[in-house]
Amino acid sequence: MGIKFVHTSDWQIGRAFRNFDERVASVLEAARLEVVDRIAAVAVSGGAQHVLVAGDIYDSPDLAARTLRQVLERMKQRTDVSWWLLPGNHDPARPGGIWDRVAALGVPGNVVALTEPGVREMAAGVYLLSAPLVSRAVARDLTAWMDDCVTPDGAIRIGIAHGSITRFGSGGDDGVIDPGRAQAARLDYLALGDWHGTTQVNARTWYSGTPEPDRFRDNAPGHVLAVSIAGFGAVPDVVLERTARFEWVGERHEIGDVAALAGIEQGLLARGRLQDTLVQLTLTGRLPASAQGALADWHDGLDARVRYLELDTSGLALTMGEEDYASLGDDAALREVAARLARLADDVASPKQEAAKLALAKLFALTRRVRQTASREAAE
């Protein structure tokens, strides 16, 4: 006797990406719905008939009925998979809340909403112990009852819950899930949700993370867990399966010349398709002022190739060397203006530092365009 299933969580269907323009936000919102099909594909390809969703299926309790139906319809179409849905802190199972609305819409036969704590036989000899959230915040560990839950001898016991095993910030441990719950409750596996990055707590306790990334954090989001338990007491075999469409890349680079930009772009290319990549770059170090035009061109080119680009150069100092002055020509007044701007741009105590950096960059961009225009006219 054994079982195979997929562990996932934190779908947060209906999330609005308000920090992005409508063009980008719409595809990110759609991707969170489309990933349901990829999760089902992982289950079927691995011989699993069950998908456990450990909380936060929906992003908020007040979503439109159409959004609620869209998820149900996608799961309904995958009749080869049973979906076990646990309410989380974004979609708690409180009276009159989102799960009552879901029930009124009609839950498909292959979907089980785990809106009450309890134990269910999800397959022959396999019991699922669920700890749904009934509010956004709780004052106790909702998995504690599992220690005393009785199941038949030799049965496989799987727990599912949503919450943190660590208290972040001040306060006691109320509401925090005991990281030793699997051992205390004799669980063969404890499927957790809440953390958006895939995390192994111990051999029998895992956070699956969100199946579609939603922020610039390098904590292994974008996966589900394919879990196989050979039998009662067996250590589960857990395999990470990638389901994400989009790659979110947040990086910080120190550069000293324009040539370094090519290396940054090559690193992005190595991660996958640029058109499915969202990039948040912070550049620090020192760059010759005359290279600002090349930096702008690089930015514009990369921006056209990726799905989204956010570039922070506030920590990038501009330097003025002989070559920079020479690029301005023989105009002494222009050189003096550049020198003054360079001094201000290098003065971290000056309130005019950022304005000076911008003005210096525009000065060199303008002189570069003038040279390019003159060169074209001469060629004609």
Domains of the chain, start order: 3-242 (3.60.21.10), 247-379 (no CATH)
| Calpha distance 262→265 (Å, rounded) | 5
Nearest to 208 by CA among 330, 59, 55: 55
Q: pLDDT per position in the chain (380 positions), as tens?
A: 799 999 999 999 999 999 999 999 999 999 999 999 999 999 999 999 999 999 999 999 999 999 999 999 999 999 999 999 999 999 999 999 999 999 999 999 999 999 999 999 999 999 999 999 998 778 789 999 999 999 999 999 999 999 999 765 444 445 699 999 999 999 999 999 999 999 999 999 999 999 999 999 888 899 999 999 999 999 999 999 999 999 999 999 999 998 999 999 999 988 878 999 999 999 999 888 888 778 888 999 999 999 999 999 888 888 888 887 887 878 788 888 888 888 888 777 889 888 888 888 788 777 777 777 766 767 76
| Calpha distance 115→306 (Å, rounded) | 41
Residues 6+ apart with CB under 8 A from 172: none
Count CB atoms within 10 A of the CB of residue 349.
5
Residues 6+ apart with CB under 8 A from 350: 344, 356
pTM over 0.85: yes
| Calpha distance 247→221 (Å, rounded) | 9
